[in-house]
Structures are given as structure tokens and as C-alpha cells.
Amino acid sequence: MFDLEYILLHLRAKSVNNNIAFMVTDDETEEKVEVSFNIDDLTVSTNEDHTNKIKLNDDYTLFLKYPTIDQFIKISSLIEEDPLANYFIMTSCLDKVASDDEVYSFDDYSDEQIDEFMDNMTSDVVRGVQNFFETMPKIRHEMKYKNSNGNERTFVIEGLRSFFI
């Protein structure tokens, strides 16, 4: 999705203009402040701790994949408070389990079999999956401004919805 976000933002830059300005509410003073940025200044930020490989045991490794556009649309339609939303996000990113000799693709298994796999995940594996999502590459931009108290503030924007405020 981060590649799609990058492409859409640069298409917006070419079709409209490179600058996006909008108002934010300063959380210290509650005042509206105008901030802006140039799309050409955006980059995809990566985290050096990001990995799609999670060790299941001495023999097997779980490999994760990024959600497809179709999966992202379905994820976006789920209500964040819906307990099934996080489960769908996790299962949509399961790619394969592999050892030195074998590879098992999740595409070859039924929903019930995947549910059983998920039920048997250890807490370390769940933390690894969470880390995959938390450190996933993303477009992120920080904008600095001074509020009416003269304090230096930073407004952070990330994710496609944020950029099209």
C-alpha cells in the first residue's frame, strides 16, 4: 500500500500541484494553524527492524506479505473496533511457512486450517506479526510550526487518508 500511496500522491502533484495546505488544531492552544508540505519532499520511510520472517521454531519460519489492494479495501471497510478486523488483517498477510526442505503456502489451506494455525501461535510469534505491521514501510512526514505561545510544535502525517485531508 505504501507504493500505491506514493504513486497516488505524485499523480496528485502532477495533476493539481505539489503543495498541500490544510488546517490543524494545535493540541496545546486549541487554535487552528495552517501547515503545508511539498509532495516532492515525501519519501517512504523504512524501519531497519522490519522483517517479514518470524521464527516459529528451530525448523520452521513464517513468512508474511503485504496486503493486496483488494485486501486493503476490505480492511478499510472493517470497523476498527470490530474484533474480526485485526484477525482479518493478520490472516491476509500470511504467506508461507518454510523449512530447509519444505514450503507450505497459506493459499493451499482452508480458512478452518488457517484458523487452527492462528489459534496455535505462540505469544512470540504474535509479537513478531505485530512488529511486522508496526515497522511496515510507510509514507510519513513531519511538519514543524510555532503556536501562539511561541512553542515549536510538530504535526505528523502518515497514511493515504491523512495526505488527502
Q: pLDDT tens digits, the chain, 165 residues: what are they?
A: 788 888 888 898 888 888 988 888 999 999 999 988 898 888 888 899 999 999 999 999 999 999 887 877 776 676 666 767 778 888 889 999 999 999 999 999 999 999 999 999 999 999 999 999 889 898 888 889 999 999 999 988 876 555 554
Q: Which residues share a beta bridge with 20?
A: 37
Are residues 91 and 124 located together in one domain of the fold? yes
Are residues 157 and 112 located together in one domain of the fold? no
How confident is the model at residue 69, as a pLDDT?
Answer: 77
By residue range, what is the domain housing residue 88? 53-134
Distance CA 71, CA 30 (A): 37
- Burial call 114-135: b when 16+ CB within 10 Å, e when fewer: eeebeeebeeebeebbeebeee
Question: Which phi and psi angles does 33 have, rounded to 5°?
Answer: -130, 135
Count of positions (residues) in the chain: 165
Count of structural domains within the chain = 2
Are residues 127 and 149 located together in one domain of the fold? no
Q: Which of 72, 116, 121, 119 is nearest to 92 (CA)?
A: 72
Are residues 111 and 67 located together in one domain of the fold? yes
